[in-house]
A and B are shown apart, each in its own frame.
Chain A
C-alpha cells in the first residue's frame, strides 16, 4: 500500500565512498519506508474516522427528514447499518471486494480478515472500506423510510453491505476488477478503465438505485399523493437535525474524497519539489468544496424562483447533490470544472424531483434522485472534464482523459458502461430481493402501523417527551394523548408547533 519512496538501488551509487555503501543505503531506505507507512496509515485512519462520521450525518439527516412518529425507527436502522455492516463486511464483504488474487468479477480471499495484513493491504484500509460500505447502505435506508418493516431493513442492509456493494467495488477499485483503472491483470477497459475515484457510481449510485427499487416496489407513503393525484409534502419533523446531518456529511466528505488517495507521501515529478500527492489531496478537498457550494447556491436561487421562498432543506439536498456528483472526478478535474459539476448537479436534482412527482414516486429523502441521479451525472462529468495532467498523476501516463479537455471519447465510453452495469447489477440483485420480500409480506408495514407511526407500534414509544411526567399511567386524554393517538392522521392536532 505504501509507495516505494526510497529505493536502495537509487541511493546506492550516491554513497559510493562509504565502506559498506549497500548496507548504508538499505539502512537509510528502510527508515524512509517505515516513515512512509506511518504517515500514510495515519492519513488513512483519520480519513476513515471522518467517513465514519458520515454515518452520524446520515442518521441525523434521516431523523430530521422523517415525521416524528418514525424517528426511532429510522435512527435504529442507521445504527444497525453500521453495526450489521461491521460484521458482514468483516466476514465476507471485504473478501468479495479486495480478496485478491481473483477474477475480474469477485474477490475470494481474506474472509474474516484471514491472513491479514499483507504487504498490499493493512487494517486501516479495511476500516476505510468498511466505512464506505455502510455509507451505501445508509443511502438506501432513506428512500424506503417511514413504511418499511424493520426486518426488511436488516435483510437488505446485510445483503447490500455484504455482497452487492463489495462486488461493485471489486469491479472498479480492486487491482483485479474488469473495469478498474488500476487493473494489473489484463487490458484496461477501452484502454482507460473507469475513473470513479471516490465512488459516485460505486457508492452513491449503488445506494441510490437500490433505494429506487425499494421505494418503487413499496409504493408511496399514505397521504403522499392525494386523491386527485396531487403531490402533498410530508415535511420532516426537525430542520435542525437536517442541517446538523448535512454539515456532518460535509465534514465527513473530506475523508471520503481526499481520503480515497489512500496515501499522501508521494512526490509528483521530481522528488524534493513542493508538488506531490499532498497537493492533489488538497486540490481534491477544494474541488469537493466548490462543487457542493455551487450546487447549494444554484438550488437556493432556482428554488426561490420556482417556489417563491427560501428553503434550507432544499439547499441542503442541493449541497449533497453537488458532493455526490463530484465524488467521481474530484481528484482529476480543475477547481473551475467542479463549479460546472455542482451547477449541473443542482439542476439534475431539481429535474429528477419534478419527474418523481409526476410519476408518483415517493422518496422521503430524495435519496434515489440525489445519489443515483447526481451520481450518474458525476460519472459523465468525469468523462467530459478529466484533465490529462491530473489523470496522469493519479493513474499513470498515456491514458484517455476528458472529452471536453481534448482527451477523446474513450473515457466517456467507459464511464457510460459503468452507469449501465451498476444500474443493471443493482436492479438485478436488489430489485429481486425487494420483490421477494414483498411477496412474502416482509417489506411494507400495515397501513394501521403506518398511520400510527412505527415508533409507537414497533419501537416502544415516541422519540420525544418534552413534557415531564413521572407517572404515565394516569389521566389519558390530554393533549399529549391526542398527539400520538394511533389514529393520528385524522385527529385534529392541537399543538401548533
Chain B
C-alpha cells in the first residue's frame, strides 16, 4: 500500500500523531508508560541532533550540552526563583540557542573528525565549569528538584507516566519542525552542505548561516527535552545531563533510526530506549555486561550494513533497490 497524495500523507501523519497521544488509553503498566515517556524525551533530544548532525552531516558529539542547559536553566530558575518550568523551559531553550551560536561560531570552519572532537572538548569544558560553579549549579552534587505539589502549572506530577501527554505533544512539535525543515529551502541547503560543502558554497549558499540556523534550532529542541527530563527525574547532575555518554547516545538514536530523515530519531529512540531498558533487567554483572555487548554489536552491525539506519532499510524495501552488479574490483582512494 502506498499513499502518495498530499492529503493522504497528511492524513497518515495526523493519524500517527493522534495514535501517539492515545497511547495511555492502552492502560499499560506504570513502568511501560514511564519508558514511553522517557522515549519521547529522547526522541525530541535526538531530533535536535538530527537537524545539524544528520541533515548537514556536522557530527557534533556535544549535544548533551544543549540538553544539559535546558535541564539546568529551568531547574535553577525553579529552585532559586520558583519560576515555573513553562517559563524556565523556553528560557533554557534560548540559553541553549545562544550557547549553540557561540559554539557554532568557533567550530563551523572545522571539518569531519576535527569538528566532532572539538564539540566533544567544548562539551567537557561546559561540564567542568558547571561542576566548578557550585554555588549556582549545585556543582557535582547536582540539584534535586523539590516536589512541591501536583500541578500542571509547576509541571509537577507524582509519576513519570503523568508527563506522557506533554512529552508526546513535544515529540509531535519536534518532528513537525524536523519534517518542515527537511522539505524546506533550509533543508535543501543543509543537504547541499552534507553532500559537498565546497560545491554548496560555490552554488551561493551561505554555509555558515545555514549551519548556524540548524544548530540553534536543534539546540532549542534538545534543551526543551532537557527541561522535561529534569522535571521527570527530579534530579539533575553534570554526570547525567552533560556527559559524553549522553551526547553519544543522542547521536546513536538518530543514526540508528536514520540520520537523514525527520522520523529517524523516533525510530531510533523507540527501538533503543526500550531495548536498553530491557537489557538492564538482569541481576548479575556478567549478565548485564553480556546484554550490553549485544547493544554494542547491534550498533556495529547497523553502521556496517546500513549506514542510513532503519530509514535505509525502509528505503531499500520500498524501492526494491538493487545495486548494479559490480564489475571486477576497483580501488577508490
Query: A and B: partners?
Result: no
Taking Cβ atoms with an 8 Å cutoff, the residues of B that contact A are: none
